[in-house]
Chain A
Amino acid sequence: MARARVKFTFPPDLIKEPVIHNMSMKYNIVTNIRRANVTKDKGWVVLELDGTQEAIDGAIASVTALGVRVDPIEGDVIEG
């Protein structure tokens, strides 16, 4: 099993969609939300993903394809 700590940032058109639930069901991922800030037109969620490495990679790729921005919780670690 693998674990990832990530931040999802949602575009306005996905706020009403059950993106995390769908991802969790499809990839058999256990999610654990630690912090979040979601309003009617924007939102971010900091969460932990538990599953196989393959499932986590697939889950991240699938939500990214939907338009969710996925970042490590550290933010951008590549500095100039």
Chain B
Amino acid sequence: MSSNHIVGLKCKECARRYPEEALHVCEFCFGPLEVEYDYDVIRQRASRETIGAGPHGLWRYKAFLPVQPDDQPVDIGAGLTPLVKANNLAKELGLENLYLKNDCVNPTYSFKDRPVTVASTKALEFGFEVLSCASTGNLGGAVAAHAARAGVKSYIFIPANLEAGKIVGAAVYNPVLVAVDGNYDQVNRLCSEIADRYRWAFVNINMRPYYSEGSKTLAFEVAEQLGWRAPDHVVVPVASGSMFTKIWKGFQEFARTGLIDDRLPRMSVAQALGCSPVATAHFNNTLNVRPVIPDTIAKSLAIGNPADGYYSLKIIKESGGSAEVATDQEIVDGIRLLAQTEGIFAETAGGVTVACLKKLVDGGKIQRDELTVAYITGNGLKTQEAVAEHLEPSVQVAPTLSSFEDALAAREREPVVA
């Protein structure tokens, strides 16, 4: 099969078409560009059997990704993460059929490895020699790791006031870390300007149409792991909205190519109360997202002006989904509940998901018998400070059996704190 499964890029606003290049904005209306595919070609290349026989990772879905068939993926092992049947958490929440997509176990411990492996592969195909991004955490680590694997240089821009601990996960891969003085908006604008000026692959700026496609694999894997079907309902933590829109696109593409039937899930948004522009617009029954200044412990979701907020709201409506928000305390409680029921230690975004899942069930937005999948997108070791102060102190004893047994007896007399 020599025909190309990629038609090109298409503006999501005015539908103007562009060639398959490192472009991200429509020159006419400044709307975002998205990859357009020829699904007839994909249908001929991909089947349940070919996917099942593919590599143990997200590159088994290569036929649906915006790279050429002969591209050698920049692959550090992202994807095909566990889909866990969460009976204990389900019981706690009053659900009968709950699954968790555990993306904490990706190579750099968050779902960002998915879009970055695709963006990196495409960047090399385009001939870029530098990978770059602006990040306060997960994305920086994923980009630096993939650049190391590809043997190319990476530039990671970070706000100068970022805590040292946040950058270790990126710095260890030896990128050029650029600490930018200035407030968030200034750093943001500078990175946008640098992306315009330098011929670098900024994964989430000029490579964004390709980068974001990697998140479709979160839908592909869930459908395959459920035995080739979509869930009834999914709950997704939302920052820019990119992952949310691409999970929807992933289920749509599997249905369109006949890999699953055409029953698509209801799509619900989980946001932190301190940064909830999408959920707020949903509550106000508008598609107009009003930007906010984030104030939440869920730093990986702290995007006050979400690029895909409008499109996320449209998907909520189209799919019959909903939205919820979680306070900082509810986020911490969500992290602890997930850890204590299912043995999964998630970062704050996971706490947001679990807290919002609980509220969606309590509010009757998720039916008890719906097959529900909640996306847990990052590892708790990245945000230990969020829960550290809330955890019980250790029991301290003298090095004698009697001391231990006294302490144990005293502890067992205490009420159990959930």
Which residues of A are in contact with B by a Cβ distance under 8 Å?
4-5, 9, 34-35, 37, 42, 44, 46, 48, 69-80
Contacts and interface: CB of A to CB of B under 8 A. Distances in A.
A42 B349 CA distance: 30
Which DSSP category, helix, strand, loop or mixed, fits chain A's interface? Answer: strand
Contacts of B135: 78-80
Contacts of A37: 288
Contact of A72 (B188, B299, B301): B188
Interface of B: 13, 24-25, 28-31, 112, 133-139, 157, 159, 184-185, 187-189, 191-193, 195, 202, 204-205, 208, 239-240, 288, 290-291, 299-307, 349
Given A34-B28, A80-B239, A74 B139 contact: no
Contacts of B301: 80
Given A46-B30, A74-B208, A80-B239, 17 more contacts: A4-B193, A46-B29, A69-B291, A69-B305, A71-B188, A72-B192, A75-B303, A76-B240, A76-B307, A77-B134, A77-B191, A78-B135, A78-B157, A79-B112, A79-B133, A79-B134, A79-B303
A80 B140 CA distance: 8
15 contacts: A5-B30, A34-B29, A74-B192, A75-B303, A76-B303, A77-B134, A77-B191, A77-B192, A78-B134, A78-B191, A79-B136, A79-B240, A79-B303, A80-B138, A80-B303
A72 B27 CA distance: 14
Nearest to B134: A78
Nearest to B206: A74
A78 B291 contact: no
Contacts of A77: 134, 188, 191-192, 195, 202, 204-205
Contacts of A4: 193
Contacts of A74: 24-25, 192, 205, 208, 307
Contacts of B157: 78
A4 B134 CA distance: 19
A78 B191 CA distance: 8
B209 to A, nearest CB: 12
B189 A72 contact: yes
Nearest to B159: A78
Given A78-B187, A80-B299, A73 B25 contact: yes
B353 to A, nearest CB: 14
B139 A80 contact: yes
A37 B135 CA distance: 30
Nearest to B292: A69
A74 B291 CA distance: 13
Contacts of B202: 77
Contacts of A48: 30
B291 A79 contact: no
A72 B191 CA distance: 10
B30 A34 contact: yes
Contacts of A71: 185, 188-189, 291, 305
A37 B29 CA distance: 13
A76 B306 contact: yes
Contacts of B139: 79-80
A72 B239 CA distance: 17
* Closest 4 A/B residue pairs (Cβ): A80-B300, A75-B307, A72-B192, A79-B139
Contacts of A79: 112, 133-136, 138-139, 204, 239-240, 300, 303
Contacts of B30: 5, 34-35, 46, 48, 73
A35 B189 contact: no
A75 B25 contact: no
Contacts of B208: 74
A10 to B, nearest CB: 11
B286 to A, nearest CB: 9
B189 to A, nearest CB: 6
B81 to A, nearest CB: 19
